[in-house]
């Protein structure tokens, strides 16, 4: 798929992946894979960006003797998803401009 198209989805997709349950890097990649595959370096960049923007918080927890970084969505992050839904209406409007067939399909 076109990389550019992915760009707008990546951030919200990561937020969606941790929305219902805190998660960590490797797990997020696995969960997103069926929808949108991304490399580790990309994910960690995104997670850092979202943390800096206050859309998620991080806490380390031990798992099998190793530390894992768990990511938790904030209210701001939830709001970001809602904003995305609003943006979607515009996206659909643009989509129809692009695919405007002559009214017959």
Residues in 76-95 that interact with a second copy by CB under 8 A? 81, 83-85, 87-88, 90-91, 93-95
Q: What are phi and psi of 20, to 5 degrees?
A: -90, -20
Residue whose CB is less far from a second copy, 49 or 68: 49
What does 41 bind: a second copy, DNA, none (CB cut-off 5 to 8 Å by kind)? DNA
Residue whose CB is less far from DNA, 10 or 74: 10
CA distances from 104 to 41, 70, 92, 95, 98 (A): 45, 50, 18, 16, 15
Going by C-beta distance under 8 Å and a sequence separation of 6 or more, which residues neighbour residue 37? 29
Binding mask 20-59 for DNA (x = CB under 7 A): ----xxxx----------xxxxx-xxx--x----------
Sheet holding 66-73, edge to edge: 23-24, 66-73, 56-63
Query: Which residues bind to DNA, rule: CB under 7 A?
Result: 3-4, 6-7, 10-11, 24-27, 38-42, 44-46, 49, 63-69
């Amino acid at each position: 798929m076109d990389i550019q198209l992915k760009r707008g989805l990546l951030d919200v997709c990561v937020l969606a992946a941790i929305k219902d349950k805190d998660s960590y890097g490797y797990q997020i990649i696995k969960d997103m894979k069926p929808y949108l595959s991304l490399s580790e370096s990309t994910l960690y960049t995104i997670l850092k960006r979202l943390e800096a923007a206050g859309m998620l918080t991080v806490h380390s927890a031990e798992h099998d003797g190793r530390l894992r970084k768990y990511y938790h969505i904030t209210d701001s992050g939830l709001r970001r998803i809602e904003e995305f839904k609003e943006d979607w209406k515009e996206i659909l409007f643009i989509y129809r401009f692009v695919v405007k067939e002559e009214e017959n399909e």
